[in-house]
Structure 1
Amino acid sequence: MLKLKHLLCVGMGLGLSSIAAAQKVEFTEYDLPNGLHVVLHQDRSAPVVAVSVMYHVGSKNEVVGRTGFAHFFEHLLFEGSENIKRGEFMKLVSSNGGQNNANTSQDRTFYYEVFPSNQLKLGLWLESERMYHPVINEVGVKTQNEVVKEEKRLRVDNSPYGRFADKIFSNLFSKHPYTWQPIGSMADLDAAKLEEFRAFFKKYYVPNNAVLSIAGDIDIAQTKDWVSSYFSVIPKGEPVLYKKIEEAPITKAIVDTMYDANIQIPAIFAAYRVPGMTGKDATVMEMISSILSGGSSSKLYRKMVDEKKNALQVAAFNYTLEDYGAYITLALPNNNTPLNTLLKDIDDEIVNLQTKLISEDDYKKIQNQFENNFVSANSKMLGVAENLASGYTFFNKNTNHVNTELDEIRKVTREDIQAAAQKYLQPNSRVVLYYLPAKAAK
């Protein structure tokens, strides 16, 4: 599910560069004959291991009329396998001292277990069972259908501001599958036949569309042997072909309204379509987010929450995806401030970025924040495993992106920030959404 993702203002000051430089992630990578890409990172600092599989399938691989499949499989593949009884998957994890979960985006599905390192073999077996021969039957489909419906009721239908993403993305994208959210349509799931679910699995959940990433207290040679034992027998699937659907530029502002019975305080959103995650501008837009709303010292928070006190909450964040991104600003009013006043205050700060270079002090603060985020992201084995898998999956099979990302951040200049604000944050190329309490509907 889409979450408000904004960076914490943590500034760690001088010395961060040397800390980050010491954080280089060493890894071994190779392919099995069936196309499964394997990445191994050894870290003996704690007796813990993270086992993860990232499948390059998300809601963008679905088709109109059959949305929600990727997110549905996030749940369905916990049902069990030919060798794991229904309902036993999570019990096996917890009874052996582990934790596990999964998540789905528009672009990928990520499964993982974190175990004491002496349970590495169990983690590999569980993920191989999930990939090789899960049980996909009417009982499991019906059960997980109800689970997904309850999740949608909880996180979207009955959650305050829970439907803003639906409205924003359906306006930002008219042709691309990003127009719907990963949770998809319950009617589509209800209408799907069992064979359609099996076909979706057979097409996308195959070794040659996945990365097995393992990080922690492991013996490399032994791990390779176990990986080969558990995963080499899984047949290679047909090549997964995907072609990005190009969207025409937005040349005139789109204004829309949504009513929500779960809220009492209205909100104003403005969203812009921006480039996907692999380009330099995605990093620059993340930095702009931090400048505008990354903590209590950020431009928007200080202006609208602290000084003018016309906003209860204000945020700007770059929701970056593989093909495109959505740069979103939002504000909730304080003291019945008109929503258009909040929008103007946000726009004024964007204009400042477009017309003036940020100060050297602000620039250094942002660099420190991002260096700290880099260090934090690789401080836990699960984070390392996911970052290694993401580099291979999204950055043209460049697993080493985990080690070059910080250099890319440091290369961003104040002029780059100004240029990106000018290029992407234009009023005539955005969606403005008035998100109102349902009682305001006439």
Structure 2
Amino acid sequence: MNAQKTNIEFTKYELDNGLKVILHQNRSTPIVAVSIMYEVGGKDSFEGRTGFAHFFEHLLFEGSENITERGQFAKYVEDAGGVLNANTSQDRTYYYEILPSNQLELGLWLESERLLHAKVTQEGVDTQRDVVKEERRQRMDNQPYGSLLYELFKHGFTKHPYKDPNIGYMKDLESAEEKDYKLFYERYYVPNNAILSIAGDIDINETKKLVEKYFSTIPRGAEPPRVTIVEPPLAGEVRDTVYDSKAPLPALVMGYRTPERNHPDYYAISLMNQVLSSGQSSRLNKVLVDEKQVAVQAGTFPSFTQAPGLAIAFAIVKPGTDLKMVEGLFDTEVAKLQNQLISEREFQKLKNNVEVDAISGYGSMSGIAESLADYEMYQGDANLINTETERFNAVTREDIQRVAKKYYNSNNRVVLYWMPGEASK
């Protein structure tokens, strides 16, 4: 079939100090998204310290040598009529401001301050430590199913730092010192470890001049250390029961070890997951929710990590439901994918969904800026924002069957029975 292509034009170049710059002009609304992505995330713990990338995300809103008043960083943006935020994944940290386009220079100055002049003080460390500890309690410790991803990765990895929680262990948050943060900043917050991505109502040549003004004099740093640990294959199926006093319903939770985001099999695995759980007519929804009525929700999604990770499958089930039975129903649906090709009709629906996602997936300037940076960082090719549909469309029904057989077997998975309540003593 002929693939619908997005047509997001952009300019990409690199400063002498190694900073990658991506510029996309869109004059439809007078706003601009200024963003910067650093190739450092939860996996990049060091010297027994976990959660540093996320903690650092918080610290870098504290201020800089030229933004001395606490809270002033956000106030600059808000007073200009903009919004700002940041997020940290296992592999990268991302900061952005969405501003009226006449405030582009403000966003560039703020991000250059963050990169060159961030001020890490013990007062800031102490303040943000309490904030992050409370965030951990709210999102993970006291949230129903809040530790689900952590438990899956802890059971699925023994060597690679994906086994540790993105937000870090409480003991590491408690014991980290000012010198640890300064070392982390020096290692990872260097221009040759960053992608500056700007999208919106901009003039390309004027923006280049401003980027040069605020970023070209920042010195290149040493190449940051990279995680080189290769996780060994699972020695067999890993099974456990997790008790969660906050969970209202039991759940079946599974993780299948699958390749990194940049692996060619990602596209077939992604489409296979859509067959299982995308939309009301998906196979798991029809069987578990509609026909058998044993689950209130079921889903699967592929791994999206820089190194081989876990593709996740789950079903939140009704009280009193036998999880072993639900697991059997799931395995039956996977076996169908392994033993027979999906129908041409189902396959065409998949491809139609790919086309729709390609056309509708980039409706905001912030979404475009982040996607351009993501594609460049994870896959080394920002233009995949326009061409990735070709990779999806190259997947055959036989490819879907092949990855189902290769990755979705019991020796390559973690199975957790998630139970409400406390474990018996």
* TM-score category (smaller protein): over 0.9
Letter in structure 2 aligned against 1:398: D
Of 73, 78, 94, which residue of structure 2 is paired with 1:89?
73
Of 394, 402, 412, which residue of structure 2 is paired with 1:419?
402
Distance 1:222 1:264 in 2: 55
Distance 1:218 1:320 in 2: 31
Distance 1:241 1:69 in 2: 14
Of 377, 382, 401, which residue of structure 1 is paired with 2:384?
401
Of 25, 32, 37, which residue of structure 2 is paired with 1:49?
32
Where do 1:329-408 residues align within 5 Å?
329-395=313-379, 397-408=380-391
Deviations 1:228-278 (A, max 9, x none): 111112111111232432122113111111111102311111211100000
Deviation at 1:439, TM superposition (A): 3.9
Aligned to 2:417: 434
Deviation at 1:438, TM superposition (A): 2.2
- Does 319-328 or 212-221 show the bigger shift? 319-328
Letter in structure 2 aligned against 1:70: A
Distance 1:64 1:306 in 2: 50
Of 96, 106, 111, which residue of structure 2 is paired with 1:112?
96
Matched, 1:123 2:107: yes
Is this contact kept in 2: 1:63–1:177, CA < 8 A?
A: no
Deviations 1:390-432 (A, max 9, x none): 222121x322222221111110111110000000000122111
Distance 2:246 2:318 in 1: 18
Distance 1:146 1:411 in 2: 49
Is this contact kept in 1: 2:241–2:419, CA < 8 A?
A: yes
Deviations 1:251-306 (A, max 9, x none): 31111111111023111112111000001211222111111111111001011111
Is this contact kept in 1: 2:249–2:319, CA < 8 A?
A: no
Letter in structure 1 aligned against 2:326: L
Is this contact kept in 1: 2:144–2:247, CA < 8 A?
A: yes
Matched, 1:171 2:155: yes
- Does 351-360 or 91-100 show the bigger shift? 91-100
Distance 2:281 2:97 in 1: 37
Aligned to 1:258: 242
Distance 1:273 1:416 in 2: 18
Q: Would you identify which runs of 4 or more consecutive aligned residues in structure 1 move more than 3 Å?
A: none
Where do 1:195-234 residues align within 5 Å?
195-234=179-218
Is this contact kept in 2: 1:49–1:214, CA < 8 A?
A: yes
SS of the aligned residue for 2:143 comes to coil
Is this contact kept in 2: 1:152–1:183, CA < 8 A?
A: yes
Letter in structure 2 aligned against 1:363: F
Relative to structure 1, the CA distance from residue 250 to residue 107 in structure 2 (aligned partners, 3 Å threshold; closer, same or farther) is: same
Distance 2:53 2:144 in 1: 25
Aligned to 1:4: none
Of 14, 17, 23, which residue of structure 2 is paired with 1:34?
17
Aligned to 1:161: 145
Of 167, 171, 191, which residue of structure 2 is paired with 1:187?
171
Distance 1:434 1:55 in 2: 36
Is this contact kept in 2: 1:58–1:108, CA < 8 A?
A: yes
Deviation at 1:64, TM superposition (A): 5.9
Distance 1:392 1:244 in 2: 20
TM-score of the two chains, using structure 1 as the length reference: 0.93
Distance 2:23 2:175 in 1: 41
Deviations 1:188-212 (A, max 9, x none): 1211221110010010011000000
Distance 1:439 1:78 in 2: 38
Distance 2:301 2:382 in 1: 26
Deviations 1:283-335 (A, max 9, x none): 22211111111111100101111111111111111131010121111112225
Distance 2:359 2:96 in 1: 21
Aligned to 1:273: 257
Distance 2:358 2:92 in 1: 21
Q: Percent identity?
A: 48
Is this contact kept in 1: 2:250–2:319, CA < 8 A?
A: no
SS of the aligned residue for 1:280 comes to coil
Deviations 1:334-378 (A, max 9, x none): 252200111111110000000010111111111122222222332
Is this contact kept in 2: 1:259–1:441, CA < 8 A?
A: no
Letter in structure 2 aligned against 1:421: A
Distance 1:440 1:66 in 2: 29
In structure 2, list runs of 5 or more residues that go unmatched.
none
Distance 1:167 1:432 in 2: 10
Where do 1:66-85 residues align within 5 Å?
66-84=49-67, 85=69
Aligned to 1:239: 223
Letter in structure 2 aligned against 1:413: T
Distance 1:437 1:292 in 2: 26
Distance 2:57 2:354 in 1: 31
Is this contact kept in 1: 2:19–2:193, CA < 8 A?
A: yes
- Does 120-129 or 59-68 show the bigger shift? 59-68
Deviation at 1:440, TM superposition (A): 5.3
In structure 1, list runs of 5 or more residues that go unmatched.
1-13
SS of the aligned residue for 2:120 comes to coil
Distance 1:373 1:325 in 2: 24
